[in-house]
Amino acid sequence: MKKKQIIVLLSAVVVLGILGYYTQTAVENEGKSDPTELINFEIENVEEVDKVVIYDPLFDLDFTLVKKDGEWLDGNGNCVQENPVDNILEAFRKISFKGYVNDKLKPTVNKLMAAKAKQVDIYKNGRLEKTWYVGHGTPDHHGTYMLLQTPDIKSDQPVIMDMEGLNGILEPRFFVDPKQWACSDLFAFSQKNIKGVTLVNTQTPQESYDIQLENGDYIARTGEEVLNINKQNLLSFLNAFDNIHFNQQNYTMNQRQIDSMKRTIPHYSLTLTPKQGDVEKYDFYDYIEKDLSRPDTNIFSMEYMWTFTQEEQLVRVQIGGRFGIGLGPILIGKDIFVETEN
């Protein structure tokens, strides 16, 4: 065989070999996405997730959630609110692929993802399962740019993710502000455990009241005067102390302003005495806000008040309240349980 024919034959064999390799690779990868564009974000068996670490590069802050004995706590073992945890677990369960990023947008999206995407490390049974990089929303706000990393591979191209039943973006669910995570319980005194309740209204003293358990019966007074009460209404009223939450932690007042407020006389002072447990006292201060109709004028809010938790944290309390019945009935208690003459 001539040398030229041998070269041609060998070249043909090489070409066939290369074609065969790419054909086999194409068959093996048929239906699969580019490995740099991972789309399998879903977390299976979400109940096994026992740790979530969220890092926000914009603030260079992180927040850790840990499940201990079936209860979610922060990294320091403090109570956290249930709803935000449920929102995150729901996202783990219902996340779905929506589409690939338009080639024209990729440079911009990649740049923003590198600078602002939140890193969410998801652990199951103590081992890192997946890491989500949660970016900003798509222009129509019906998708979220995200990257996925597993212990084996990390995507370098973002994709657009969605969530079943969500009309919006996922990024707001992953926040790192500990104030937003902290439990909002202010106090919880069940009616069966109440020995006494005293409310002092410093601005309208005649609206003050003192309720004490005496000889197995509740007696209500204003000063030395024993009030004519409706006992059924009074027992119902005492249920108002069972589930009081604050509306929001302090984001507006600095320490100088807080100290100044402490030097003023509170509008209300509430003392709760249980049959079992420690006495708790709360001072409620007027909440000042801007008059929307007159921007240069401050007014007393009809919706909020300031108080301090037992840990001396300043918090805002909603008088109406979205948790239970709120603070309002406690402040106007006499109108609820005092019998009026017809």
In-domain check, residue 281: yes
Asked if 216 and 164 sit in the same domain, the reply is no
Question: What integer pLDDT is reported at residue 111 of this predicted model?
Answer: 95
How does pLDDT run across 225-238, given as a tens digit for each residue?
Answer: 899 999 999 999 99
Asked if 134 and 238 sit in the same domain, the reply is no
In-domain check, residue 21: no
In-domain check, residue 298: yes
Amino acid at residue number 224: E
Asked if 208 and 253 sit in the same domain, the reply is yes
pTM score above 0.75: no
In-domain check, residue 232: yes
Residue 84 has pLDDT above 50, yes or no: yes
Final residue of a structural domain among 181, 209, 241: 181
Q: How far apart are CA 14 and CA 283, in angstroms?
A: 87
Question: Which of 7-11, 40-44, 198-202 shows the lowest mean pLDDT across its residues?
Answer: 7-11
Domain that holds residue 189: 185-337
Classify strands 209-214 and 248-249 as parallel, antiparallel or unpaired.
unpaired
Asked if 225 and 118 sit in the same domain, the reply is no
Question: What integer pLDDT is reported at residue 24 of this predicted model?
Answer: 35
Q: What does the DSSP 8-state code read for residue 80?
A: B
What total of structural domains would you count in the chain? 2
Asked if 206 and 233 sit in the same domain, the reply is yes
Asked if 155 and 64 sit in the same domain, the reply is yes
How does pLDDT run across 135-166, given as a tens digit for each residue?
Answer: 999 999 999 999 999 999 999 899 999 998 88
State whether the Cα torsion 188-191-192-198 is positive or negative: positive
Asked if 195 and 121 sit in the same domain, the reply is no
Q: How far apart are CA 195 and CA 176, in angstroms?
A: 40
Asked if 238 and 258 sit in the same domain, the reply is yes
Report the greatest alpha carbon distance in the chain. Answer: 126
8 Å CB contact between 210 and 196: yes
Q: In what order do the strands lie in the sheet with 280-291?
A: 225-226, 217-222, 209-214, 194-201, 268-274, 280-291, 294-308, 314-318, 248-249
In-domain check, residue 80: yes
Classify strands 118-124 and 95-100 as parallel, antiparallel or unpaired.
unpaired
Q: How far apart are CA 151 and CA 129, in angstroms?
A: 7
Asked if 165 and 199 sit in the same domain, the reply is no
Nearest to 189 by CA among 90, 272, 80, 298: 272
Asked if 246 and 312 sit in the same domain, the reply is yes
Asked if 205 and 321 sit in the same domain, the reply is yes
In-domain check, residue 14: no
